[in-house]
Structure 1
Amino acid sequence: MNRRPRLLTTAAVGAAAALLLTGCGGGGGGSKGNDKIAGADTGETTSASPSASATAVADRPKVNLPSDVKDKYESWQTGDKAKDEILTDTASRIDATNAAILSGDTGAPGLAFYYRDKALSGAVQWVQAYVDANLSFTGTTRYYSPQVTLSGAKSASVVYCADESKGFNKNRKTNKVDKTPSDESPYVLYNTRLEKNAQGVWQATNLISKRGDKTCAG
């Protein structure tokens, strides 16, 4: 059972705090993201860690993923300080969300730190859906082709792709991993809206996704 293709689809996490618990064989869908990612065919093709140069204005919560779970970020540095700070907080948000799912903790500090408003409600519901389904996950998720667009000093959007083909659902009680092939695409296009808070943290205020978007395949 592939991790998210066969379990959860975030149709509009944040926009309407919508979450579909589809279960095995469930359908995908989701709100449509951008049709094209500018520059998706450029940049590094090897794995790159998020920039360590982001200004440490706030005390960011420590996030530790278990050894069997990896979030891999490719071409996640642009050379532009402002954009790299946004991408660093975006990667930290992703890690914090996955850590909350794995621990089954809807009150994990990373959620309220990197989300706010309706996006926070949607993230909490997403974590709770995994808990209710008695599932966590294992494996590697690849995040790539990020595009950052700034709208002034405190607003931005980030579009990026995820490849979940090497991530699988795991029963929370038995730890049994289900690798049953999925008929859904493992590729997801994410489009996020972020606002910079008073502590200098770029928080997600809106997040939409589209599974199977052609710009993310391959």
Structure 2
Amino acid sequence: MTRRLRLLTTATAGATAALLLAGCGGGGGDKSNDKIAGADTGASASASPSVSASASEAAGRPKITFPSDAKNVFEDVKTGDATKDAVLADSALSTNSVDEAIFNGSTGTKALGFYNSGKALESSITYVQGYIDSSDTWIGQVRFFDRKVSLSGSNEAYVTYCSDESKAFIKNKKTNKVDRNATTSRSYVLYHTSLTKNAEGVWQTTNIVSNRGDKACQP
């Protein structure tokens, strides 16, 4: 790996992406890609107020922490709709939970199974295990932007978003070598995700498909 590579489920990407897009269309939700007032919801050693402090510190929710040299930044946190905002918050925490597992070198972290279920949890475990097996982690910053949420009934939602990985790099734990490759079109990734609200009120990510180098996310 020469650059931080984010999650792709074992499902067929094209078919699943089409399904998720169809779900977004049918949900009657926000179809815009407007950036919501940019709040930093990256989980560093101190959690941000927009996602980690409000959602992650609620009763029963595991706290997520990052090392000081890595950070996720989520734009578009507020939509003006409380339900959509809750979906976006838990979607961000799902992402953070996967990265926390990478940093901890463990697929058994509490947050990983708390914010992910079904295919998303299965592929997250496989993804994290790949880092563990190669003694890798990542450093730097990943920016998540153009986050769009669509609701389908009271317990299902779909979130699409882009990531900018141009400032994030793979680091080997044994050698401390950091792969600092030049930024290319593949530094930008488009995601389609499905979420389901569980009995505890958590919007768990249940499926996720990514398309690296997608034109929709290019600067």
TM range (shorter): 0.7 to 0.9
Structure 1 match to 2:99: 98
Structure 1 match to 2:45: none
Three-state SS of the structure 2 residue aligned to 1:131 is helix
Task: State how far apart, in whole Å, the 2-side matches of 1:164 and 1:63 are.
Answer: 20
Task: State how far apart, in whole Å, the 1-side matches of 2:56 and 2:110 are.
Answer: 20
**Structure 2 letter corresponding to 1:43:** K
The Cα shift of 1:45 comes to 6.6
1:42-191 mapped onto 2 (5 Å cutoff): 42-44=34-36, 46-49=38-41, 50-51=50-51, 58-181=59-182, 185-191=186-192
Structure 2 match to 1:206: 207
The Cα shift of 1:54 comes to 5.3
**Structure 1 letter corresponding to 2:148:** Q
Task: State how far apart, in whole Å, the 2-side matches of 1:173 and 1:30 are.
Answer: 39
Structure with more of its chain in strand, by fraction: 1
1:21-40 mapped onto 2 (5 Å cutoff): 32=17, 38-40=31-33
Structure 2 match to 1:3: 3
The Cα shift of 1:98 comes to 0.5
Structure 2 match to 1:12: 9
Change (3 A) 1:56 1:201: farther
Task: State how far apart, in whole Å, the 1-side matches of 2:199 and 2:57 are.
Answer: 13
- Please tell me whether the aligned partners of residues 189 and 212 of structure 2 are also in contact (alpha carbons under 8 angstroms): yes
TM-score (norm 1): 0.81
The Cα shift of 1:183 comes to 5.4
- Please tell me whether the aligned partners of residues 53 and 85 of structure 1 are also in contact (alpha carbons under 8 angstroms): no
Identical-pair percentage: 43
- Please tell me whether the aligned partners of residues 31 and 209 of structure 1 are also in contact (alpha carbons under 8 angstroms): no
> Any gaps of 5 or more consecutive residues in structure 2?
25-29, 42-49
Give the alignment's Cα RMSD to 1 decimal: 2.9
Change (3 A) 1:124 1:114: same
Of 79-88 and 30-39, more deviation after overlay is shown by 30-39
Structure with more of its chain in helix, by fraction: 2
The Cα shift of 1:167 comes to 0.1
Q: Matched residue pairs, number?
A: 202
The Cα shift of 1:44 comes to 4.5
- Please tell me whether the aligned partners of residues 160 and 191 of structure 1 are also in contact (alpha carbons under 8 angstroms): yes
